Amino acid sequence: MAKINILKPEIFNKIAAGEVVEKPASIVKEVVENSIDAGATKIEIQIYEGGISKIVVSDNGSGILPEDLEPAFLPHATSKIATENDLYHIGTLGFRGEALASIASVSQVEVISKTANTDGHSIKISGGEIIAKGEKGSPVGTYICVENLFFNTPARQKFLKKPKKEESDITTLVAKLILANPNIAFKYSADSKLIYNSSGQGLKDAIFSIYGAQIMENLIPVDFHNDKYSLTGFIGKTSFFKANRTYQTIMINGRWIADSIVNVALSQSYEAYMMKHCFPFCVINLTVPNDEVDVNVHPSKLEVRFQDSRAIFGFVYKAITETIYEDLTRKTNEEIQSEPEQPAFTLTRAPEVSKNQTVETNDLNVDFVLDSPIFQSNARGDIAAHSSENSILNEIVIEKLAGSIPTTQNNSIYQFQSNDEPVNYVPKPTQQQLIKEDIVDKDAFLSSRIIGKAFNTFVILELDDNLYFIDQHAAHERLLFDKFVEQIKNKEVSSQSLLLPYNIEVNHSEEQYINENIEMLRSLGFEIEPFGNLSFKVSAIPSLLPDLNVENFFKNFLSNLNNYTQLKDLDLIRDNLAETACKHAVKGGDDLDKEELVKLVRGVGDGTTTLQCPHGRPFVVKFSHRDVDKWFRRIV
């Protein structure tokens, strides 16, 4: 063995640079994060030739003190942490103090910076060595220019990709930075061509600046809290999905994270609505107390470790599934209210109610009237305000008029207050929940007319001004699937004995996992018990799943062991149920007689949970009379 050398800082920095400065995008990330940490509200990024020849970032942040300009380039020089304890409460994006040192060791850097109370100064460093420094006029903030990346490490230069590819990596990164920092105005250009220009006026604007107008109508706002965590931002509607994950931006405490259990929770939340290999849209931020999350596990900080991953998974899953559900049901309610021939509520004069009055009713919906607008609140505390003409007012009006928003105490008691006006109330009959999605409603279906079928696959209905096409297979699949789910929810499952009991051989952690979930398996209809050491015997399976491949099922089940998923009974067999529903449903091409068609349409009309088959395909398509007129140019 050779003698041990203590490495000189120049060499050490080049090694460290390998960790931090992988490619031009990593420089942009580090430098822009420094601007964010410095409290900038405006950041401009310019890159040339994919950032290989030049990256310029200027900000209007706090600036660097003249005496700190040189130390900022020393390894482990940071103003962001001082003690080990600070490591567990990191509130800034940077903290390692190695970015500037690493970047400067493999490129040519100029920094010009000015704080509010000092004059501007500049420093120039080439390959880690200071070549110039001094006073220089500048506005408050910091300008950094990084040129000729890897000019002194030719070996690393070879690993750079083509400029266009490096540029596209930077563009993807900048999009994430813009979404993660919606209150900062960003301007980003590549080879002098403007690519993004965000206003710094909130997340909606940021999303607009990245994805354009088309995405805007497909967003559902998320705002979900418990006593420890919160999830905010936007997710995509269940009818809007993408072919890959690049439309998913997940932040944890404002920091963009490439991969975490939050991604898993997101995809599982959409499982019932999406086809396989489709990905939901999201821009969400999860807030977790700083001491419950460790961001110090990855050099470029794209990964995190949670103290309690299961709790995080459960929280995100609940937040997203409930938000989706509320969106689907809210849509239904809005529809009811916009149907003129079917008024959503009746306006009657009601006795006066004094301030702070609690109204008790057994109905789930209570309308109360305050001057002319009508406020409607449902069991979950959603609030809508309508003028007597049925046009929807926004929540700001509610606050202004009612003083405070009514809160739901439980399913039957509503409390509301008014600052100065007396409040009238009108209890209202419970509104029937209609079918979700904005395409059709239950009553409509029941009174529709079957006018034919096409290709022995699509049932054609006419109702009022609309034509509906129903995919008979997909619709039947959904009906069967919903029926199965209902049976499981009502605990109406039964078992079917296997001719030969099936033995599962397991290891210790698998044994523990099965034991933890054994009651749930039994509630689904599995008869399963320990059978000696590290082995279980399955002697019956759910009768709902007569064709179940027991071996595959348990293989799949055990593959969840390392997920953070806290499985619920339904999650466990959702795929199997979908498969069984698919097998037992009528097929496309089956020649259904009139009675069977009526039964199918009636089934859909009686209420399916969504208008998609369990694999996520839509099964109803609607054309209005107007649409058809347009086909023939009767109208334009």
Instruction: CB nearer to Mg ion: give 102 or 238.
Output: 102
Q: Does 120 bind ligand ADP (CB under 6 A)?
A: no
The residue whose Cβ lies closest to Mg ion is: 94
Instruction: CB nearer to ligand ADP: give 60 or 238.
Output: 60
Phi-psi region of 490 (alpha: psi -120 to 50; beta: other; left: phi over 0): alpha
Task: Please identify, among the stretches 31-39, 252-260, 373-381, 403-411, the one whose residues bind ligand ADP according to the rule CB under 6 A.
Answer: 31-39
CA distances (Å), origin 331, targets 134, 221, 335: 63, 14, 6
Where in 34-95 does DSSP place strands (E)? 42-48, 54-59
Q: Measuring CA to CA, which residue among 394, 224, 240 is closest to residue 319?
A: 224
Residue count, binding to ligand ADP (CB under 6 A): 22
Task: Please identify, among the stretches 62-70, 254-262, 355-363, 395-403, the one whose residues bind ligand ADP according to the rule CB under 6 A.
Answer: 62-70
User: Which residues are CB-neighbours of 627 under 8 A, at least 6 positions away?
Assistant: none
| Interface with ligand ADP in residues 135-174 (CB under 6 A) | 142
Residue 120 binding result from ligand ADP, Mg ion, none, given CB thresholds of 5 to 8 Å by partner type: none
Q: For the CB of residue 15, give the shortest distance to ligand ADP in the complex, in Å.
A: 16
Instruction: CB nearer to ligand ADP: give 144 or 544.
Output: 144
SS (H, E, C) 254-299: CEECCCCHHHHHHHHHHCCCCCCCCEECEEEEEECCHHHEECCCCC
Alpha-carbon gap, residue 61 to 333, rounded angstroms: 47
The residue whose Cβ lies closest to ligand ADP is: 94
Instruction: CB nearer to ligand ADP: give 38 or 220.
Output: 38
Alpha-carbon gap, residue 405 to 424, rounded angstroms: 15
- For 553, the 3-state DSSP assignment is helix
CA distances (Å), origin 232, targets 172, 203, 224, 284: 22, 10, 6, 6
Instruction: CB nearer to Mg ion: give 50 or 94.
Output: 94
Instruction: CB nearer to Mg ion: give 103 or 578.
Output: 103
Q: Distance of alpha carbon 439 from its chain centroid, rounded?
A: 24
CA distances (Å), origin 467, targets 186, 449, 457: 47, 10, 16
Residue 78 binding result from Mg ion, ligand ADP, none, given CB thresholds of 5 to 8 Å by partner type: ligand ADP
The answer to whether 524 and 489 have CB atoms below 8 angstroms apart is: no
Name the residues that contact Mg ion, by CB under 5 A: 34, 94, 99
Instruction: CB nearer to ligand ADP: give 254 or 588.
Output: 254
Q: For the CB of residue 49, give the shortest distance to ligand ADP in the complex, in Å.
A: 23
Q: For the CB of residue 77, give the shortest distance to ligand ADP in the complex, in Å.
A: 5
Instruction: CB nearer to ligand ADP: give 20 or 401.
Output: 20
Q: Does 77 bind ligand ADP (CB under 6 A)?
A: yes
Q: For the CB of residue 72, give the shortest distance to ligand ADP in the complex, in Å.
A: 4
Alpha-carbon gap, residue 366 to 363, rounded angstroms: 7
Residue type, 626: R
Task: Please identify, among the stretches 27-35, 165-173, 260-268, 397-405, the one whose residues bind ligand ADP according to the rule CB under 6 A.
Answer: 27-35
Alpha-carbon gap, residue 97 to 456, rounded angstroms: 68
Alpha-carbon gap, residue 264 to 282, rounded angstroms: 13
Q: For the CB of residue 368, give the shortest distance to Mg ion in the complex, in Å.
A: 54
CA distances (Å), origin 30, targets 242, 266, 267: 29, 28, 30
The answer to whether 444 and 432 have CB atoms below 8 angstroms apart is: no
Instruction: CB nearer to ligand ADP: give 91 or 343.
Output: 91
Task: Please identify, among the stretches 70-78, 166-174, 281-289, 590-598, the one whose residues bind ligand ADP according to the rule CB under 6 A.
Answer: 70-78
Residue 127 binding result from Mg ion, ligand ADP, none, given CB thresholds of 5 to 8 Å by partner type: none
Q: For the CB of residue 119, give the shortest distance to ligand ADP in the complex, in Å.
A: 16
Alpha-carbon gap, residue 370 to 295, rounded angstroms: 50
Instruction: CB nearer to Mg ion: give 100 or 577.
Output: 100
The radius of gyration computed from the CA coordinates of the chain, to the nearest angstrom, equals 31
Sign of CA dihedral 396, 401, 406, 412: negative
Q: Does 72 bind ligand ADP (CB under 6 A)?
A: yes
Instruction: CB nearer to Mg ion: give 112 or 402.
Output: 112
Q: For the CB of residue 174, give the shortest distance to ligand ADP in the complex, in Å.
A: 16
Q: For the CB of residue 146, give the shortest distance to Mg ion in the complex, in Å.
A: 13
Instruction: CB nearer to ligand ADP: give 80 or 133.
Output: 80
The answer to whether 123 and 136 have CB atoms below 8 angstroms apart is: no
Alpha-carbon gap, residue 143 to 137, rounded angstroms: 12
Size of the chain in residues:
636
Q: For the CB of residue 11, give the shortest distance to Mg ion in the complex, in Å.
A: 22
Residue 62 binding result from ligand ADP, Mg ion, none, given CB thresholds of 5 to 8 Å by partner type: ligand ADP
- Per-residue contact flags (x/-) with ligand ADP for residues 82 to 111, judged by CB under 6 A: ------------xxxxxxx-----------
Residue 59 binding result from ligand ADP, Mg ion, none, given CB thresholds of 5 to 8 Å by partner type: ligand ADP
The answer to whether 111 and 38 have CB atoms below 8 angstroms apart is: no
Residue 61 binding result from ligand ADP, Mg ion, none, given CB thresholds of 5 to 8 Å by partner type: ligand ADP
Site residues (vs ligand ADP, CB under 6 A) = 30, 34-35, 38, 59, 61-64, 72, 77-80, 94-100, 142
